Homo-oligomer: A and B are copies of this chain.
Amino acid sequence: MKKTIARSVLAVLALSVATAASAQVKPEDQIKFRQAGYRFMSWNMGKIKGNLEGTYNKDQVAAAANAIAGIANSGMGALYGPGTDKAIGSVKTRVKPEFFKEGENVGKLAREFNAAAGDLAKVAAGGDAAAVKTAFGKLGESCKACHDKYREED
């Protein structure tokens, strides 16, 4: 019970932080910033994949995982503010309308993604390639869970 209350308080705090942060950023910039975050994560996911399939470089994997964890846990929810649900001029977005209507599920997926990114960074610091492979797979699944439901196909 205490845990539930604490979690609710945290959720409310997270939301107010998100609101304060998004208030200062124009909707078109919010879209650009969130896309930049995903794009930079995808480069780092690619590097980790390359390491798992080829020669494993512990430092490169750890650095890539840190970048992903840092981005994932930076409060990207603030980049989905009002007006960012559709294209603004030449700034396109592939986010589906459902994303903005299913806050509870989106929040759940986001928390799973953040946790998976944090886990990967922890495991990558240890340098055990097999453990990294497992954590990387879990992170990939959490990306896919959101993409499948809330991202338009190319």
In the complex, which residues of chain B have a beta carbon less than 8 angstroms from the beta carbon of A47? 21, 75
Interface residues on A, range: 20 to 34
Q: Does A4 contact B (CB under 8 A)?
A: no
Q: Does A68 touch B at the CB level, under 8 Å? A: yes
Interface 0/1 of A15-48, CB less than 8 Å to B: 0010011001100010011011101100110110
List which A25-78 residues lie within 8 A (CB) of chain B.
25, 29, 32-33, 35-37, 39-40, 43-44, 46-47, 50, 55, 57, 59-60, 63-64, 66-71, 73-75
Q: A36 — which chain B residues lie within 8 A by C-beta? A: 35-37, 39-40, 43
Distance, CA A33 to CA B67, complexed state (A): 13
User: Are the CB atoms of A17 and B57 closer together than 8 Å?
Assistant: yes
Q: Per a CB cutoff under 8 Å, which of B35, B39, B60, B74 touches A33?
A: B39
Asked whether B25 lies within 8 Å of A46 as measured between CB atoms, the reply is: yes
- Output the nearest chain B residue to A64 by Cβ-Cβ distance: B74
Name which residue of chain B comes closest to A44, CB basis.
Answer: B74
Who on chain B is nearest to A54 by CB? Answer: B20
12 pairs of residues in contact across A and B, judged by CB atoms under 8 Å: A20-B55, A24-B46, A25-B43, A29-B43, A33-B43, A36-B37, A40-B74, A43-B79, A44-B74, A47-B75, A64-B74, A69-B70
Q: Using a CB–CB distance below 8 Å, which chain A residues touch chain B? A: 17, 20-21, 24-25, 29, 32-33, 35-37, 39-40, 43-44, 46-47, 50, 55, 57, 59-60, 63-64, 66-71, 73-75, 79
